[in-house]
Amino acid sequence: MADIAANVFADAPAETEVRSQWRLVLRRFLAHRLAVAAGVVLVVAYLFSYLAEPVGGWGYKDLSPDLSQGPSGDHWFGTDTIGHDMFAQSMRGLRVSVHVSLVVAGIATVLGSVLGAVQGWFRGRVDGALGLLVDFLLILPLLPVLMVLGTRTRASGGSSLMFVAVVIGLFLWAPLARVVRGEVLSIREKEYIEAAEALGASNTRIIFRHLIPNAMSSIIVYATLTVATAILLETALAFLGFGIQPPEVSLGSLVDEGRDAARTRWWLFYLPGAVLVLLVLCVNFVGDGLRDALDPRRDQRR
Amino acid sequence: MTGPANPKAEVPVLSVQDLEVVFPSTDGDVQAVRGVSWDIYEGEVLAIAGESGSGKSVSVMAALGLLPPSAQVSGSISYRGQDVTAMADKELEKLRGSAISMVFQDPMTSLNPVMAVGAQIAEGVRVHQRTKTAIARSKAVELLHLVGIPNASQRVDSYPHELSGGMRQRAMIAMAIANDPDLLIADEPTTALDVTIQAQVLDVLERAREAAGSALVVITHDLGVVARTAHRLLVMYAGRIAETGMADNVFERPAHPYTAGLLGAIPRLDATKGTRLMPIDGTPPSMLAPPPGCAFAPRCPRATEICSQETPELRPIGNQLTACHHAEDQYGEAEDV
């Protein structure tokens, strides 16, 4: 037996340093320059939104004596008709949009992944019932529905930011559920799922430890898309006058208020609009980078 | 059946009686297993050999309740006297991985690519024993060390793609013995591996079996694997048992023309120079409509009229059981060689 054991150990490769997974992920992400740049811009912009008042000198609710002025040293983004400092307002709007979109994406991603995985794993009736719900949510014209809900909340005395976010989140999980279901239908046939079953893993364990992690790259890509969608959807709602109510601002409400002035006082429309576009673009780039970095099947040397 | 290797153990670890498995398909019913019985006793190594589609994998998958829901299973499978086929899902989950455990064929696809191997082994431990994560982890290190993975304390954090095929198969074996199972089932454990690694993995499997004190069922189409590991051999053909007995006896004097054919088709070091390998002509029958009588008859050099009319029963020939009308002739001829 001893010589067998010696034999068995003989094929041991030379000791190699085993890299920790998270260092690997970080390194792959850092190799993705655009994503890193976008991430830095996002974080800096978000943190800076808290410094907008002390640095720019104006709060977002402050009314300055300067009405309808173009960008200047005092008002970086100019002012509107009643003297709001547009820089302070844009930064406030950025912060609000980020918060709303993160809550939306969080709710939609968790619901979408879990329900999609449940559909794909159990199939049969469970799949059918949830599938109907998904189809229903997908055919709902989202904007009108949210507008109706928006008016109701306004009637009941102002809508809270989080209420808007939660409602949007409850509507946005359906497309992700579909994607995850499809992924899971293919993953469930893999041998390691059979192996997990053979080792006595329960349904819950298989779903959360094996199926969802293996669908993670799609989920992450979809989650970032959802962040972008949520920002745009909240913007659209605000643009139509629903969702966020003054004096609170979001990028959408700013663009809405500035749109009439797009030709005459361009800064009211284009500057918050630029912040919005930049925000959505950065989110998408970060999503790209995360997808590449988190996939352990990619070459470990990159 | 042949007697237990260990005469003290009277109740078999796993007993399969008159197992029949049918898969309905659009073309008709596929009769994958057609009445198979076998037992395995404590500490014993049983090899089930046969070519693709002979029903060898299906008969053990049935034992774990892992067949697709469409499969129609009849007959009885009992683990230490408890009927497995009658068990609820929860009970089966408890059984799988703790009492009966499995090593899969392809280590490339049988490990979850996004989980570190150590975490996968630890998972197997934590499914069945309520232990802390840290304890499960150190158990994983211990198991990886046992199966001969160098640098085990660092390798626990490796992902499957960072390991070679042989290493992954060792990790699979570590996973399978994590809960000291009574019965270990290895489904073609070396088929997907490099020839140079096969022997090592078989050694590891044998060591793991000893460490866990379990019985082992090896499913294989490679009689070389059988020769190396098995105490007892069961040869399957077209969903039935062709021949079974102590491995040494069957190798020495096969009484079934199919077994003899299989043995004639593998290269041997002790053969005289110039001896040709003898292939078995023809292909296995379609399991949609298996031929009446002996399923091997169309390919059998000894086939006579009775073979295509009457299904041969397993009967004792020499030291083994053989299902062949001409077993005596075959057995007698083997003696002359």
Residue B337 maps to which CATH number? 3.40.50.300
Strand partners, A79: A85
- Residue B74 forms beta bridges with which residues? B20
Residue A198 to residue B96, Cβ atoms within 8 A = yes
**HEC sequence for chain B:** CCCCCCCCCCCCCEEEEEEEEEEEECCEEEEEEEEEEEEECCCCEEEEECCCCCCHHHHHHHHCCCCCCCCEEEEEEEECCEECCCCCHHHHHHHECCCEEEECCCCCCCCCCCCCHHHHHHHHHHHHCCCCHHHHHHHHHHHHHHCCCCCHHHHCCCCHHHCCHHHHHHHHHHHHCCCCCCEEEEECCCCCCCHHHHHHHHHHHHHHHHHHCCEEEEEECCHHHHHHHCCEEEEEECCEEEEEEEHHHHHHCCCCHHHHHHHHCCCCCCCCCCCCCCCCCCCCCCCCCCCCCCCCHHHCCCCCHHHHCCCCCCEEECCEEECCCCHHHHHHHHHHC
State residue B88's pLDDT score: 82
User: DSSP label at A260?
Assistant: G
- Report yes or no on B143 lying in a domain: no
Spatial distance between the Cα atoms of B104 and A198, rounded to a whole number of angstroms: 9
CA dist A61 and B94 (Å) reads: 63
Is the overall model pTM greater than 0.90, yes or no?
no
**Mean pLDDT for chain B overall:** 84
**Is residue B53 scored above 90 in pLDDT?**
no
Q: Which residue of A has its CA nearest to B110?
A: A192
User: Where does residue A89 rank: exposed (0-12), middle (13-18), buried (19+ CB within 10 A)?
Assistant: buried
Encoded tokens for B184: 């270990």
Query: CA torsion angle for B229, B235, B241, B244 (degrees, to 10)?
Result: -60
Edge-first strand listing for the sheet containing B14-25: B28-40, B14-25, B72-79, B82-83
**Does B157 fall in a domain?**
no
Please enumerate in sequence order all residues whose Cβ is within 8 A of that of A94, keeping only pairs 6 or more positions apart, or say none.
A45, A46, A49, A251, A275, A279
pLDDT of A283 strictly over 50: yes
- Would residue B322 count as lying in a domain? yes
Average pLDDT over residues A108-122: 93
Res A243: pLDDT:
66
Cβ separation B111–A192 shorter than 8 A: yes
Tokens of B257: 């023309």
Domain coverage including residue A189:
81-294
Do residue B113 and residue A297 have CB atoms under 8 angstroms apart? yes
Measured between beta carbons, the chain A residues lying within 8 angstroms of B94 are 200
B207 interaction partners in chain A (CB closer than 8 Å): 1, 4-5, 8
Look at B101 and A199 and tell me if their CB atoms are within 8 Å: yes
Burial-class residue B132 by CB neighbours within 10 Å (0-12, 13-18, 19+).
exposed
Q: What percent of chain B has pLDDT over 70?
A: 96
Say what the pLDDT of residue A6 is.
43
Mutation target for B interface from A184, A199, A217: give the one with most B CBs within 10 A.
A199
What is the number of structural domains in chain B? 1
Q: How many residues does chain A have?
A: 302
Task: Report H helices in chain A.
Answer: 2-9, 21-31, 33-56, 86-122, 124-139, 142-155, 161-187, 191-198, 203-205, 212-214, 216-239, 251-258, 267-294
pLDDT value of position B2: 46
Tell me the average pLDDT across B248-275.
Answer: 81
What mean pLDDT is predicted for residues A208-225? Answer: 85
Residues A39-83: tens digit of each pLDDT: 899 888 888 888 877 776 777 777 777 777 777 777 777 777 777
Mean pLDDT of B258-274: 78
Q: Please tell me the predicted confidence (pLDDT) of residue B97.
A: 81
HSE-up (13 A, CA, CB side) for residue A100: 31
- In-domain check, residue B149: no
Cross-chain residue pair B162–A209, CB shorter than 8 Å: no
Task: With a cut of 60, say whether residue A289 has pLDDT above it.
Answer: yes
pLDDT score of A154 more than 70 = no
**pLDDT reading at A301 higher than 70:** no
What pLDDT was estimated at residue A177? 93
Q: Please report whether residue A96 resides in a domain.
A: yes
In a domain, residue B294? The reply is yes
Q: What is the pLDDT of residue A207?
A: 92
pLDDT at B164 over 70: yes
Query: Domain limits at B248?
Result: 1-110+181-268+276-337
The mean pLDDT value for A224-241 works out to: 81
Spatial separation of the C-alpha atoms in residues A64 and A75, rounded to whole Å: 10
Q: Which of A58-67, B2-11, B144-153, B282-291 has the lowest mean pLDDT?
A: B2-11
The answer to whether A12 contacts B150, with C-beta atoms less than 8 Å apart, is: yes
Write out chain A residues lying below 8 Å of B127, CB-based: 199-202, 205
Q: Looking at residue A12, what is its pLDDT?
A: 42
**pLDDT bucket at B3, cuts 50 / 70 / 90:** very low
| Residue B172 contacts residue B103 (beta carbons within 8 Å) | yes
- pLDDT score recorded for residue A4: 44
User: Considering the domain boundaries, does residue B123 fall inside one?
Assistant: no
Interface contacts (A, B; CB < 8 Å): 112
Highest mean pLDDT among B10-14, B32-36, B107-111, B331-335 belongs to: B32-36
Predicted local distance difference test score (pLDDT) of residue B276: 75
The reported pLDDT for the residue numbered A156 is 53
Structure tokens at A239: 């643009």
User: Residue A251, by phi and psi: left (phi above 0), alpha (psi -120 to 50) or beta?
Assistant: alpha
DSSP letter, residue A13: P
Sort out which chain A residues have CB atoms less than 8 A from B155's CB and list them: 18
A110: domain CATH number is 1.10.3720.10
Residue B161 in domain: no
Residues of A in contact with B145 (CB under 8 A): none
**Number of Cβ atoms within 10 Å of the Cβ of B159:** 22
Residue of A21, A192, A207 to mutate, testing the B interface (most B Cβ within 10 Å of its Cβ):
A192
Which of A112-126, A157-171, B64-78 shows the highest mean pLDDT?
A: A112-126
Indicate if the pLDDT at residue A15 is higher than 50. no
Query: Residue B261's pLDDT is what?
Result: 85
What is the Cα–Cα distance from A231 to A73, expressed in whole angstroms?
Answer: 30
Measured between beta carbons, the chain B residues lying within 8 angstroms of A300 are 161-162
The torsion angles phi and psi of B317, rounded to 5 degrees, stand at -130, 120
More confidently predicted of A114 and B3? A114
Asked if B203 lies within 8 A of A4 by C-beta distance, the reply is yes
Nearest-CA residue of chain B relative to A17?
A: B154
Total number of domains in chain A: 1
> What interhelical angle do A161-187 and A216-239 show, nearest 10?
150
Q: How far apart are CA B121 and CA A123, in angstroms?
A: 28
The pLDDT > 70 percentage for chain A reads 83
A6 touches chain B (CB under 8 A): no
Examine residue A156 and state whether it is found in any structural domain, yes or no. yes
| CB B219, CB B186: distance < 8 Å | yes
B45-55 residues labelled b (16+ CB within 10 A) or e (exposed): bbbbbbeebbb
What is the percent of chain B with per-residue pLDDT over 90, rounded to a whole number? Answer: 4
How close B178 gets to chain A, by Cα (Å)? 10
| Residue B139 domain-assigned (yes or no) | no
Interval B185-219: pLDDT, tens: 988 888 777 778 888 888 888 888 888 888 999 99
Smallest CA–CA separation between B155 and chain A, in Å?
7
In chain A, the percentage of residues whose pLDDT exceeds 90 is 15
CB within 8 Å of chain B, chain A residues 189-218: 190-192, 194-202, 205, 209-210, 213-214, 216
For residues B97 and A204, the model is more confident at: A204
Cis peptide before A247 (omega within 30 of 0): yes
Which of B97, B112, B114 is nearest residue A198 as measured by Cβ atoms? B97
Asked which of A260-264, B137-141, B142-146 is least confident by mean pLDDT, the reply is: A260-264
Check residue A11 and give its pLDDT: 43
